[in-house]
A and B are shown apart, each in its own frame.
Chain A
Amino acid sequence: QQPVQSPQAVILREGEDAVINCSSSKALYSVHWYRQKHGEAPVFLMILLKGGEQKGHEKISASFNEKKQQSSLYLTASQLSYSGTYFCGTEQNAGGTSYGKLTFGQGTILTVHP
């Protein structure tokens, strides 16, 4: 089941903050966040596995809610290099035949202007 990402697009000035959300109707095993620049492969940002988890650093961080149905990616004091499309990839079940299989959201296009 495909997760829902919001917003679809964000336009920022350098130094502004953004939040990208990823929601599922069912509890997840994990959430992976990626950034993809045009013509390039997705780059791994972070993975969240535990309900209530928060991780990352002061510039780019993410959270996973207690019910493990929603994750948010926080981009603080944005830089030009943050521009790209952000995808969340979700893993539904722990282990077994679903291990490692990611279902991706539709993506959020982030544009940072000088």
Chain B
Amino acid sequence: DVKVTQSSRYLVKRTGEKVFLECVQDMDHENMFWYRQDPGLGLRLIYFSYDVKMKEKGDIPEGYSVSREKKERFSLILESASTNQTSMYLCASSLIPPERATSTDTQYFGPGTRLTVL
């Protein structure tokens, strides 16, 4: 079974702190994603990565950065946390099939980190 783990289930930080959210997958997937989930808004893509050291902005990248130094690990960084970044953060990974990104390119999700910024 694919396993995606996130470093913390719950996290409480103060405004202005630098926050690291870690995600690790054990299935040698190329793609990794960070989403935030807010009530009434569903999941919104923050950043994604399709290879080591490669990243692409999602729909709401402002206030966030990411790091992918190793294939299995994808970190989300809040350089200076603000209260409006209080949210649930979900990491996901997926495998690119050899030639075409077909429907077998399923995203597997971690359990989420609920971040509260005070």
Partners in one complex: no
